[in-house]
């Protein structure tokens, strides 16, 4: 049951919602089904036009479950989460994307992890993917552990229960396995991490976690606590890969600009590799796209580790496409 209005809840669950009518009721129901945790629900409507806030109010009335609904003009998920953080009342804060679902023990396990590890900046658990085109290995943490054998423990491989700064930083640089719906932080932790970058509409979770990794260790609960829905509207859907990859590279470049020597050894090769891949894919579109991307990479500082071979490879592919277009 939620806390009375004159008492602060233990946990606030912040749900940013933009045109989420197809999924929002399932998300709300999953929070309501949480076991052993007093959770305040805060929905930040980010300028929806599909009746999302009306559905939230109807669900709240039908289930006698108070939901704080906050409206804002469409400003992006970072701003929506920040508004939820500032307007919520809980001592601990969890996030739920409107198309994801909590499992019943999710909030309780993360709360216990933070209470048992007071130095941890955040706690997170495993995420299982479901829906359209689910990868062969649907568990995000297991996939990350397989990709980093030095961190793997046991069979199936697991990430250790606590990740220190460089371990977490390395995982996030390689491809963030910690989906926002799997996080919980104390309210005081944001004094050490700062809020979400309001200008970052895509890859805002990776940008935040790279900063958070410097503020304290991550407490990892190696149990699936969240189901993440895969569908065509996901920003991380394969069809959105070029746009997503550009934002990811921009985040890495900004993190690199303030990286320590130890962080540079991890992030430098990742920046160079992703820049090469983006350049190659742009070159397969055509010379004009490749040239535009080259300028953008220069502006964000992502081309300073390129070799002459990288440039010749991308230029040669783009010129081949120009030749084919002229012949056609």
4 secondary structure, DSSP code:
P
CATH number at residue 56: 3.90.550.10
CA dihedral 325, 312, 305, 178 (to 10 degrees): 40
User: Would the pLDDT of 212 be above 50?
Assistant: yes
How much is the pLDDT for 137?
64
Question: Whole domain around residue 88: which residue ranges?
Answer: 11-236
- Alpha helices (runs of H) in the chain, residue ranges in sequence order: 24-32, 52-63, 77-87, 106-116, 140-147, 165-175, 190-193, 204-212, 241-257, 261-285, 287-300, 308-327
How much is the pLDDT for 301?
66
Residue 209: is it exposed, middle or buried by C-beta count within 10 angstroms (0-12/13-18/19+)?
Answer: buried
Question: Greater confidence, 53 or 134?
Answer: 53
Q: Which residues touch 290 (CB under 8 Å, ≥6 apart)?
A: 279, 282, 283, 314, 315, 317, 318
Based on the structure, what is the number of domains in the chain?
Answer: 2
Kindly report which listed range (75-89, 103-117, 140-154) carries the lowest average pLDDT score. Answer: 140-154
* Judgement on whether residues 228 and 245 belong to the same structural domain of the protein: no
Q: What is the pTM of this model?
A: 0.84
State the average pLDDT over residues 213-242: 80
H or E element, residue 304: none
H or E element, residue 22: none
User: Would the pLDDT of 148 be above 90?
Assistant: no
* Judgement on whether residues 254 and 128 belong to the same structural domain of the protein: no
Question: Greater confidence, 325 or 146?
Answer: 146
How is residue 148 written in tokens? 């980093």
Q: What is the pLDDT of residues 1-12, one digit of tens each?
A: 555 555 678 999
State the average pLDDT over residues 269-297: 73
How much is the pLDDT for 305?
52
* Judgement on whether residues 231 and 247 belong to the same structural domain of the protein: no
Residue 262, domain member (yes or no): yes
Among residues 236, 266, 296, the one where a domain terminates is 236
Among residues 174, 205, 236, the one where a domain terminates is 236
* Judgement on whether residues 268 and 164 belong to the same structural domain of the protein: no
Among residues 184, 210, 236, the one where a domain terminates is 236
How much is the pLDDT for 279?
74
Alpha carbon 256 to its chain's center: 19
User: Would the pLDDT of 60 be above 90?
Assistant: yes
State the average pLDDT over residues 29-41: 96
- N-to-C CA span, the chain: 68
pLDDT-based confidence at 248, cuts 50/70/90?
confident
Question: Greater confidence, 137 or 76?
Answer: 76
The partner residues of 162 in beta bridges, in order of sequence, read 219
Alpha carbon 181 to its chain's center: 8
State the average pLDDT over residues 191-198: 96
């Amino acid at each position: 049951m939620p806390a009375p209005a004159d008492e602060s809840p233990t946990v606030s669950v912040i749900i940013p919602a933009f045109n989420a009518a197809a999924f929002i009721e399932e998300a709300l129901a999953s929070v309501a089904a949480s076991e052993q945790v007093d959770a305040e629900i805060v929905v930040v409507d980010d300028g929806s036009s599909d009746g999302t806030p009306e559905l939230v109010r109807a669900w709240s009335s039908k289930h006698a479950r108070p939901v704080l609904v906050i409206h804002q003009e469409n400003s992006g998920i970072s701003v929506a989460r920040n508004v939820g953080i500032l307007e919520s009342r809980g001592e601990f804060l969890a996030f739920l994307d409107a198309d994801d679902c909590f499992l019943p023990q999710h909030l309780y396990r993360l709360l216990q992890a933070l209470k048992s590890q007071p130095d941890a900046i955040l706690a997170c658990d495993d995420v299982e993917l479901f829906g359209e085109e689910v990868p062969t290995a649907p568990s995000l943490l297991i996939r990350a552990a397989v990709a980093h054998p030095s961190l793997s423990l046991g069979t199936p491989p697991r990430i250790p229960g606590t990740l220190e700064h460089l371990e977490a930083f390395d995982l996030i640089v390689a491809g963030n396995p910690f989906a926002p719906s799997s996080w919980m932080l104390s309210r005081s932790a944001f004094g050490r991490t700062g809020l979400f970058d309001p200008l970052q509409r895509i890859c805002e979770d990776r940008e935040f976690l790279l900063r958070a990794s410097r503020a304290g260790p991550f407490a990892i609960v190696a149990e699936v606590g969240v189901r993440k829905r895969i569908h065509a509207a996901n920003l991380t859907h394969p069809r959105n890969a070029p746009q997503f990859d550009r934002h990811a590279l921009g985040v890495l470049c900004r993190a690199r600009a303030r990286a320590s020597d130890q962080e540079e050894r991890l992030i430098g090769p990742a920046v160079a590799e992703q820049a090469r891949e983006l350049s190659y894919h742009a070159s397969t579109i055509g010379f004009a796209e490749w040239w535009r991307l080259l300028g953008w990479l220069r502006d964000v500082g992502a081309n300073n580790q390129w070799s002459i071979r990288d440039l010749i490879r991308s230029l040669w592919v783009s010129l081949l496409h120009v030749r084919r277009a002229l012949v056609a």
